[in-house]
Structures are given as structure tokens and as C-alpha cells.
Structure 1
Amino acid sequence: MQPPASEQIIVQGSGFADWTSLNDTIMGGSSRAGCRVTPEGLLLEGELIEAGGGFVSCRSPRLQPPLDLSPFSALQLEVEGEGRTLKIALGCRDGALGLTELIPGGLRWVIDVPTQAEGVTRVRIPFADLRPTVRAKPVGLPLRFDSVGVTRIQVLHSKFGDAGELNPGFRAGMIRLLIRSIRALP
């Protein structure tokens, strides 16, 4: 029997260098936000406009090879989030007979995470709590999260929560989020 896995840093500091912003402009919105690496982590800042979309985000490049997080049971995010409710979205290697690649935007495994108004929020995200969605709409199929093949990590602030309902922690206007680190936990 193997000993339990210890904590593993997925990304922090300059490891965020290849992350890019993806905002609601891809679907006709007009939010403007970008992400850049700072000595403290990945900074997402700009203006979030609700009309026509209502989301801003930073996401990892497509992870090749995919991350094998099977020795772990959760992620931990350290973020300065201005009291906003964020959405964490993970993409996985396709386990649905190739169907997820045919879905525009793809299948994502998501969860909403509230943050403190000031200071660093440390959030534990159990893999068992992730829900399958396509473009903020829950998927009713009996799918299981595959921690063996994580292909993308995304942090969003969206007017829609993980269950497809409006996000009660959503705030339009100027936004400044600092993602300090993402770790895998046993």
C-alpha cells in the first residue's frame, strides 16, 4: 500500500506566465480584463460589464501532457478575491467517447467559491464536489470527474453560478483578483 500523497504545488509565481484571459467578448459581451504575472501571483484586472455576457477569467494553457491528479482528492486555491464568488473550472481529457470535443466551449467541471472581502482566501475544492457543465448550464448525464487527465484550469468571475443560476456574489464594475497559488491536496 502506498503512503498518502503529500501536497503538490500546481502553479504559483512565474508558473502563471502562460495563462491568458478569456472574457465574455467571445460571445458578444464587452467586459475588458487581462491577466499578468506579478511577484505575488497572477493578477486579473479590468472592467466587468454584465450586459451581453458578464464574465472575465484567466485560464491555463492546454496542459500537455494532462495533469494526473489521481493521488489527490482536492485543489486548494489561494486568492485575493474582493469578496466575490468565483467559479473554478477544470477541463479533462475526454472520457465520453469523444463527445465533449464536439460541444462548443467543451465540458467543464465547476464549483463556486466565495472569497473574503479583504486579504487572502484559502479555498479547498474537493474533486467530489465538482459539477459537469457546458457554458454555465448543468449537464444531466451521469458523468464522473476524471482526475487522471486534467487539461485546463480556469478561474472566472461570472454572473452565472455553477448550477446555472445567477451568482449571488456577482459584481459588475472594476475588478482586481490576485491568484497566489493552486495546489493539489491529499
Structure 2
Amino acid sequence: MTTPPSQPAPQIRVLASGASFNGWASLNDTIMGGSSRAGCRVTDEGLRLEGNVVSEGGGFVSCRSPVYKPPLDLSAFRGLRLSLDGQGRSFKFAVACRDGVLGLTELIPGGLRWVSTVPTQSQGTTVVDIPFDQLKPVVRASPIKLPLRFDPTCITRLQLLHSRFGDDGEANPGFRSGSIALLIRSIEAF
């Protein structure tokens, strides 16, 4: 009996691009008493986040995916690639995973997220690769010091935030309050 040749793992998997950002929605600092206002809308170019960021009382605006059911299994890939027009701002890309911490992830207020800073060029499109092994565990912008490992087999949600806090919990040097117009062109696994 001969074994069929194995198929190579795909090089790229498009998770969202252009008008396929259906179901993505905004989540802003108003959930914690802030007054930033921004909304997400799908266009042929991608997902637009437009509004106004206010640093007092919160200081963040974001777009996030719907909850993936079943969770995404991206174990055949090394990381995620974002293509976005971000006006020179620094963003935080956050990934939520099912379970992960002895079944306690959903019991943590704000939830455990795996994050990375995404700097952008002041003009044009920025393409950023985020290897899975560079994602850092945080809860509400506070880094977790436990020896945790990211599990790419159970991704439940993706989110891109413009926040006054960076992935290290310190001030985000690329944060600007005021009018914001972000275009997320695509998110791919590579």
C-alpha cells in the first residue's frame, strides 16, 4: 500500500478582506465610562473605523470580529498579516482564544487577550506581520507575567484598537486623540 503524497500547508489564508468584514462591529471606551465615539462600516476597500477618540475616561476605539464558531484553527500558519491605512498611528491587535487558562479565560473580567503593537505609516498602506510567538498575554491593557503559550488552534475573536495604552501596559507613543479614519484592508494568516 502506498501513501499518497502529503499536500503542503497553504501559504496564505485570507481571514477578511474588502467587503468580507461582515459582522465586525465597533467597541469603544463608552463601555467603561469614556466618551470616544467611532463606528465600523464595511466597504469594497475593507473595514473603515471612523470617529473621534477622547483620551479622558478611557481612550480607545476599536473594531472587532464576531465570535468565531467554531474557533479558527490556524495551527498550519506562523502568524497574522495586517494590511491597513492607519495615518501614522500605533494600534493594538488583539486575539482572543477559547479556554487556554485551565478553563478560566472567560471568568477573567475583560478576558485574556494576546496582543501586539501595530505601527503604521503616516500615508499609504502599511503591511505588518505578527508572528504568533510574538503575541503577549494581557488583561485590560495589563501584561500577564505567567508563563503562558499562545494556542493558534482555538481563535475566537480578532480586534484592532487605537488605545492610549500599548501592549506593554505603558502609554502608547503612537496614540492621538481626535478624529480617526482607519481602513483595515485585509487580515491574513501566513
* Same fold per superposition (TM over 0.5): yes
Deviations 1:108-161 (A, max 9, x none): 000001000000000001001000000000011111000000000000000000
Determine whether 1:87 maps to 2:99: no
Normalising by structure 1, report the TM-score. 0.97
Distance in 1 between the 2:177 and 2:69 partners? 34
Deviation of the 1:105 alpha carbon: 1.1
Q: Tell me the matched-pair count.
A: 185
Q: CA–CA distance in 2 between the matches of 1:49 and 1:71?
A: 40
Q: 2:171 aligns with which of 147, 153, 166?
A: 166
Q: Report the counterpart of residue 3 of structure 2 in structure 1.
A: none
SS in structure 2 of the partner of residue 77 of structure 1 = strand
Q: After TM superposition, what 4+ stretches of structure 1 lie above 2 angstroms from structure 2?
A: 1-5
Alignment of 1:145-184 (within 5 A): 145-184=150-189
- Cα distance in 1 for partners of 2:92, 2:14 equals 20
Pair 1:133-2:141 in alignment: no
Counterparts of 2:42 and 2:10, CA distance in 1: 29
Q: Identity, % of aligned pairs? A: 64
> C-alpha displacement at 1:2, in angstroms?
5.4
Displacement, 1:15? 1.7
Superposed displacement of residue 96, structure 1? 1.2
TM score, norm. by length of structure 2: 0.95
The equivalent of 2:48 in structure 1 is 43
Q: Deviations over 1:26-50 (max 9, x none)?
A: 0010000000001100000000000
* Pair member with larger Rg: 2
Q: Note the C-alpha offset of 1:100.
A: 1.1
Q: CA deviation at 1:5?
A: 2.9
Question: Unpaired runs of 5+ in structure 2?
Answer: 1-5
Cα deviation per residue 1:22-74 (whole Å; 9 max; x = unaligned)?
00000010000000001100000000000000000000011101000000001
Worse overlay, 144-153 or 12-21: 12-21
Q: Take 1:2 and 1:164, find their aligned partners in 2: how far apart are those partners?
A: 42
Paired position in structure 1 for 2:62: 57
Counterpart residue number, 1:14: 19
Q: Where does the alignment leave 5 or more consecutive residues of structure 1 unmatched?
A: none
Q: Following TM superposition, by how much is the alpha carbon of 1:17 offset from its aligned partner in structure 2, in angstroms?
A: 1.6
Rounded Cα–Cα distance in structure 2 between residues aligned with 1:110 and 1:2: 31
Distance 1:104 1:15 in 2: 30
Q: Are positions 1:76 and 2:81 aligned together?
A: yes
